Amino acid sequence: MQACGLIVEYNPFHNGHKFHIQASRQESGADCIIAVMSGPFLQRGEPAIIDKFHRTKAALAAGVDIVVELPYLYAVQSSDLFAHGAVQTLHELGVSSICFGSESGDISHFTRGYDLLNQYQTSYQTMLQTKLDQGLAFPEASRLAYETIGLTTGGIDLAKPNNILGFSYVKAIFNNHLSIEPLTISRLNSDYHDEHMTGSVASATSIRHELLKKGHISADAANSLPEETVSQLQTYQAEATSWHTWENYFDLVHYRVMTMTEEELAAIYGVDEGLEHRIKKTGNKATSFQGWIGMIKTKRYTWTRLQRIFTHILTNTRKTDAASVKHSQSVPHVRLLGMTKTGQTYLHNWKKAMNVPLISTLARQDNLIAATDERASHAYYSSLPAARKRAFQHQELEPPIIL
């Protein structure tokens, strides 16, 4: 039995994802589709609209066979660490391929890009450092450095976040000499940053904005969402009383910042170069999350980077916690969220060959990755009313979802 891996956030799961699952199955010829999915908080430093358990249900209903969780310490990271954690997780699960979406849908653009980068490593590093020293944010500095070595002309436009992630996956596979074949599928008429609904394969970003702006599922959004997602979104909203947005966490993160010492704030992952003073100072004037980030934002500290930092403050993730993933090659365990019958058969056979434990709850896991995941989960549900919080938190202790 062969497995193909996807690396996803499913925030929320939409028609494009459903298409991607079908295409991946075809492209890879695999019998089993495994998705490694971000948990409560996402790569761009945002809470997921609905929790990982409800997103897992939507994913299984739409064709994924196994959903596992990408630990927080890999999920809320820039693309290279995000990709490293995701690829290592899929490697532990024995996938023979990983399939990701890209603008061109041509994998040779990525493999050629990888060769080019290897060849001009020094020029790339020098230019990257120069641009960083000029005060540019990492994504922009990196894009310019790639341009220098001719990478954008090779077919991948590294101004597209999706291509950046895809390139990070390819690097994570090749750098670690994993026997995983990278595959890519064109993203069709959906553009990652497009904020308008464009029919049945609208981007995750555009659907998310539509949902959070309206606070309910509009007819437009419903058109881009599979039935399973509409049902999970509705169930969640009814049971939890609301979806999750950063603004729901403003009171908590503001309280937290204003009762921390500057030393404690400086110990949080990502708070560097005296940013603690700026965060504290602007905190005196902030009355909304958007407004607060707007006051701190600079050329170097992009919106996404600041959102990640605030996620680390909210979840109490310190530099010492993050150091553990930076210096470890593999993941300490794989956390199973849900599976179909096919997934169950696959795992039954594969489990013995795994080098790390396959777990279904964090109970009894004694490592920084698990401890951080537990804190992140508590922080995520903290925006809900007291009685709801407890019920939703309890899902963490239940057996994996089986469809």
**What tokens does 284 get?**
């005196």
Q: Does 392 engage in binding with a second copy (CB under 8 A)?
A: no
Q: Is 101 annotated as a binding residue?
A: yes
Q: Does 402 engage in binding with a second copy (CB under 8 A)?
A: no
Q: Cβ–Cβ contacts within 10 Å for residue 122, how many?
A: 9
Which of 55-63, 84-92, 201-209, 309-317 is the region at the interface with a second copy (rule: CB under 8 A)?
309-317
Amino acid (1-letter code) at residue 354: M
* CA–CA separation, 121 and 126 (whole Å): 9
* CA–CA separation, 151 and 291 (whole Å): 37
Amino acid (1-letter code) at residue 113: G
Burial track 71-82 (b if 16+ CB lie within 10 A, e otherwise)? bbbbbbbbbbbb
Q: Is 20 annotated as a binding residue?
A: yes
Q: Does 239 engage in binding with a second copy (CB under 8 A)?
A: no
Q: Is 10 annotated as a binding residue?
A: yes
Among 315, 325, 350, 400, binds a second copy (CB under 8 A): 315
DSSP 8-state assignment for residue 200? G
Amino acid (1-letter code) at residue 139: P
CB of 67 to a second copy, least distance (A): 25
SS3 state at 336:
strand
Residue list 277-296, contact with a second copy (CB under 8 A): 284-288
Q: Does 319 engage in binding with a second copy (CB under 8 A)?
A: no
* Main-chain phi, psi angles of 171, to 5 degrees: -60, -45
Which of 110-118, 302-310, 353-361, 370-378 is the region at the interface with a second copy (rule: CB under 8 A)?
370-378
Q: Which residue number, 220 or 264, has a Cβ lying nearer to a second copy? A: 264
CB of 331 to a second copy, least distance (A): 21
Among 314, 362, 369, 370, binds a second copy (CB under 8 A): 314
Q: Which residue number, 39 or 94, has a Cβ lying nearer to a second copy? A: 39
Q: Decide if 43 contacts 72 (C-beta within 8 A).
A: no
Q: Does 250 engage in binding with a second copy (CB under 8 A)?
A: yes
Q: Does 234 engage in binding with a second copy (CB under 8 A)?
A: no
Q: Does 378 engage in binding with a second copy (CB under 8 A)?
A: yes
CB of 215 to a second copy, least distance (A): 19
CB of 287 to a second copy, least distance (A): 4
Among 179, 259, 329, 355, binds a second copy (CB under 8 A): 259
The alpha carbon of 318 is separated from its chain's Cα centroid by a whole number of angstroms, namely 19
- E strand or H helix at 86: helix 79-92
Q: Cβ–Cβ contacts within 10 Å for residue 8, how many?
A: 23
Among 44, 209, 300, 389, binds a second copy (CB under 8 A): 389
Contacts of 399 (CB under 8 A, 6+ apart): 360
Q: Decide if 166 contacts 80 (C-beta within 8 A).
A: no
Q: Does 267 engage in binding with a second copy (CB under 8 A)?
A: no
Q: Decide if 173 contacts 98 (C-beta within 8 A).
A: yes
Q: Cβ–Cβ contacts within 10 Å for residue 149, how many?
A: 19
Q: Does 219 engage in binding with a second copy (CB under 8 A)?
A: no
Q: Which residue number, 238 or 386, has a Cβ lying nearer to a second copy? A: 386
* CA–CA separation, 390 and 395 (whole Å): 9
CA triplet 162, 375, 343: central angle to 5 degrees?
A: 55
Which of 89-97, 115-123, 136-144, 245-253 is the region at the interface with a second copy (rule: CB under 8 A)?
245-253
Give the residues across from 401 on adjacent strands. 338
CB of 283 to a second copy, least distance (A): 9
Q: Is 11 annotated as a binding residue?
A: yes
* CA–CA separation, 342 and 160 (whole Å): 35
Print the binding letters for residues 56-75 with a second copy: x by CB under 8 A, - otherwise. --------------------
Q: Is 7 annotated as a binding residue?
A: yes
Q: Which residues sit in the known binding site? A: 7-20, 101, 162, 187
Q: Which residues sit in the known binding site for ATP? A: 7-20, 101, 162, 187
Residue ranges that bind a second copy, judged by CB under 8 A: 250-252, 254-256, 258-261, 264, 284-288, 314-316, 371, 375, 378-379, 382, 386-387, 389-390, 393
